[in-house]
Amino acid sequence: MKIDNFEINRQSPVFIIAELSANHNGSLENAIETVHAAKRAGADCIKLQTYTADTITIDSNKEDFLIKGTIWEGKNLYKLYQEAYTPWEWHEEIFRIAKEVGLVCFSSPFDNTAVDLLESLNAPAYKIASFEITDIPLIEYVASKGKPIIISTGIAEQEDIELALDACRRVGNNDIALLKCTSSYPAPINEANMCMVKDLAERYNVISGLSDHTMGATVPVVATAFGAKIIEKHFILDRSIGGPDASFSMNEEEFTMMVKAVREAEQAIGVVDYKLTEKQFKGKDFSRSLYVVEDMKKGDIITRKNVRSIRPGFGMHPKYYNEILGKSVNKDLDKGDRLNSQIILE
């Protein structure tokens, strides 16, 4: 998978996305400063959400349209999205600023008209939000554009994932990533289930990653250890700005620390290699080996009392210990002399 200049595969560094979402709180100035802050924090990408209240729902106060069981308890869906949306006339400017500072920029479209807008801006990839994974016609339309498609699985059962993958592949798009996500705001860390990152990659033969709503950097680090190649976190200049997503978004300092932790986790994972580095090999000096621990005369018998396996590691390998017991030495030896095969009589 290639997004702009970033090659994303199972050997590549993690592609880190700062999710702007509603964190501009209605201010283009905030949105633009957030792009700059995301770059300073070490993100590779800034991601938008492209919808209006009318493209995502209808204005209704019927029971079905009132939110329950989340931080937006009791809100009307339409009013929430009116508050949270990123005006479409801002997109071109945000895309331009992102490119200027060296960030990839793309978006989550929520209907076909949003896709058309993003196509006009040459979006290099698309993200399907967790709650849209069941919108098969939308996924088909997005996938038909031939761009990499990243799909969050926050509300997905196995059948939902398979239907979404089939929709992409039906229109000839195999450039797919699946993100493990817990659609809770904020998400409890004990529901992160990061072993799914590895399973998604292996089960569906795709790039896998994390769309994270937990607080802190622990889950992104664990995801990295399980092979995540894309990590997405909500990003805000300062939670005091407010807005629908502020409470579960990272500020610049927190995001910077997360990026550092993920990059260090990548270094710590390393590769399967039983060869020692020069520094590690030097550490063998402190391993065990066979030494004379009592003065010995020529002809003396080697016993457990006069020869032991001790530190440092310059003497004979301890694997020979039982083999040499009962044999004699061919010269006088002092306490602290290394034992070696040349001084042992057969």
Query: Which pTM does this prediction carry?
Result: 0.88
Rounded distance between C-alpha atoms, residue 148 and residue 331, angstroms:
75
- Show the domains of the chain with their CATH numbers: 11-269 (3.20.20.70), 278-345 (3.90.1210.10)
Residue 59 pLDDT > 90: yes
Distances (CA, A) of 65 to 53, 130, 185, 199, 329: 12, 18, 18, 35, 91
Write out pLDDT tens, residues 109-160: 999 999 999 999 999 999 999 999 999 999 999 999 999 999 999 989 999 9
Residues belonging to the chain: 346
What angle in degrees, to the nearest 10, is found between the helix axes of 158-170 and 195-204?
40
Residue 272 pLDDT > 90: no
Write out pLDDT tens, residues 125-139: 999 999 999 999 999
Burial class of 267 by CB neighbour count within 10 A (0 to 12, 13 to 18, 19+)? exposed
Q: What is the pLDDT of residue 74?
A: 81
AA letter at 344: I
Q: What is the pLDDT of residue 291?
A: 97
C-alpha R_g of the chain: 30
Rounded distance between C-alpha atoms, residue 119 and residue 142, angstroms:
10
Rounded distance between C-alpha atoms, residue 67 and residue 75, angstroms:
5
Write out pLDDT tens, residues 294-307: 999 999 999 999 99
Distances (CA, A) of 103 to 92, 116, 247, 282: 14, 22, 25, 43
Q: What is the pLDDT of residue 271?
A: 86
